[in-house]
Structures are given as C-alpha cells and as structure tokens.
Amino acid sequence: MIPLSVQLRSLRQPFRKALQTAGELKADAVEIDLRNEIRPDELTKTGIRHLKKMLSDYNLKIASVSFPTRRGYNVLDDLDRRVAATKAAMTSAYDLGAKVLVNHIGGIDQEISAESNTRLLEVLHDLARHADTCGVTFAAKTGQVDGPVMKQFLDQLPEGSIGVDFDPGALIINGFSADESYQALANYVVSVRGKDGVKDLARGRGVEVPLGRGTVDFPLLIASLEEARYRGFICVEREHPENPVQEVSDALEYLRNVQIP
C-alpha cells in the first residue's frame, strides 16, 4: 500500500494543532511549508529536535517539504535571491529528514530550444547539484504545462537530477490529460498529489473537487504507481476546502479504500 501524507496547510489550523490533527487522522506523514509555516532561518538545532519529538509523538514522518516561491525560476527579477533561499530550504529539508522539496519551476516555452528554457535549465541544474549534496530531490510541480512538454524539457537535464511532483488535479484544472501526463512523466515522479478536478465549461477551465468526485482515475493511477514500484507518498491537498478537516479525512479514507485488494 502506498503511504499517505497530508499537506498541513490544507487543514487550515495552527501548525502544532495541524500536526495533532494529521496524527489523529492516522496519516503516515505530513508535508510542511518552509515559507509560510516554518522558515529555514528559524530552524535551530533545538527547534529541529523539538519538531522531530512532536512528529514522533503523533506517529508521523515528514514526507516532503514545499517551498512555494512567488515566481518561478524563469523570472529574472530577484532570481539569485530566490535560488539562494531555495538552497537554504533544501538544507533545512535534509536536517528535518525530508527526502523531497516541492516547488513550481515556472513557465516552459513549448519551443524547447527557446532562450528562456535554456536559462531555466541552467538554474535547475544548479539547484539539482545543491540538492544532490543535501541528499534531497527537487520535485517540479506539474499543472502549468502539459506532461509531454514538461518531459521533453526535463529530458535535457542529466538523468536523476530533477524529480516531478505529480498533481493530477492541477493538470485537469488547467485543461491537460492526467493520464497522458503520467505516462510521459512516470520515470520522473517522486511525489504525488491526492487532488482531483473537473472541467468547467462555463469558466473555461477546470475546478478542484473533493477526491474521488472528479475525472482523475485514481485506481488507475495507483495501479500504475504500484507497477512502477513507486516508493514515495500520495499527499492529500485541498486548495479551497469548505470543511478542511472533514475533507482531508474523507480524502484519506478514499485513498485507503482504493488500495484495499
């Protein structure tokens, strides 16, 4: 069975209370936001020991950390500072025992040889080198571009340097095929989002819906992950929950039921 984690931010609770709730919901692990929940410069050795003790008390691990920068690494303004901050977050991720750091990388030009893509590749190569020294994998979020386009772009990097945080719901919401994107990106996937979506013709784009009520075929996705011997987590995430704790609880139950033989 693929282990399940909870994005703490989705619970819409203070940090310590969210950890307690994730433990009560019997999640295997959590995802911590290193920009908005805990900042890397606040993580002293004492603070890290205290956090690990809390995680142990609630029988939780850290599946991943997120570091959601306001802009992608394709934007030149403040790029050096953004890269330095991401590297500091990777170091903190390692100190916390997390194996994956998740962030969006920014827009990818469909013309793969475009100059903007070349610059972005250089930044990602730099981040990948730092991630390697930390023992952490940088995982690029899916959703902004079609999976086959993202694969073609990432294939230009050295093998194993960058992973993918596969978000089927975000792909549906942005008008892409989750199935086709997974088939393209399967070899890159190191983290998976438990998020669902449906097309909304009135809005011209998709909308997020509770897990299992959208068009993402989670039984097929989970079967594909198991066939690929996926060793990561499925992280439950709700962007706009009306009843956060109940919706996260329902999502965990759905994913457990899908995996019952």
Comparing 256 with 205, the larger pLDDT belongs to 256
**Band of pLDDT at residue 214, cut at 50, 70 and 90:** very high
Distances (CA, A) of 224 to 45, 183, 211: 40, 9, 18
Mean pLDDT of 161-186: 96
Count of domains for the chain: 1
Q: Are 192 and 230 in contact (CB under 8 A)?
A: yes
Percentage of residues of the chain with pLDDT beyond 70: 100
Distances (CA, A) of 49 to 2, 55, 65, 97, 162: 27, 10, 17, 11, 29
Mean pLDDT of 68-73: 94
Question: What is the reported pLDDT for 204?
Answer: 74
Q: Is the pLDDT of residue 199 over 80?
A: yes
Give 105-122 pLDDT, tens digit per residue: 999 998 888 999 999 999
What is the rounded distance in angstroms from the CA atom of residue 236 to the CA atom of residue 91? Answer: 24
Q: Is the pLDDT of residue 202 over 80?
A: no
CA nearest to 73, candidates 101, 103, 115, 40? 103
E-assigned strands of the chain?
Answer: 4-7, 29-33, 61-66, 100-103, 137-141, 163-166, 189-194, 196-200, 205-209, 234-236
Give 182-193 pLDDT, tens digit per residue: 999 999 999 999
Question: What is the reported pLDDT for 22?
Answer: 98
Mean pLDDT of 87-108: 95
Give 6-36 pLDDT, tens digit per residue: 999 999 999 999 999 999 999 999 999 999 9
Q: Is the pLDDT of residue 169 over 80?
A: yes
Question: What is the reported pLDDT for 201?
Answer: 76
Domain that holds residue 210: 4-259
Beta bridge partners of residue 199, listed in sequence order:
206
Q: Is the pLDDT of residue 233 over 90?
A: yes
Give 54-64 pLDDT, tens digit per residue: 999 999 999 99
In degrees rounded to 5, what are phi and psi of residue 254?
Answer: -60, -45
Whole-number average pLDDT of the chain: 94
Mean pLDDT of 155-182: 96
DSSP state of 159: T
Question: What is the reported pLDDT for 43?
Answer: 83
**Band of pLDDT at residue 39, cut at 50, 70 and 90:** confident
Give 135-145 pLDDT, tens digit per residue: 999 999 999 99
**Band of pLDDT at residue 205, cut at 50, 70 and 90:** confident
Which CATH number belongs to the domain containing residue 141 in this structure? 3.20.20.150
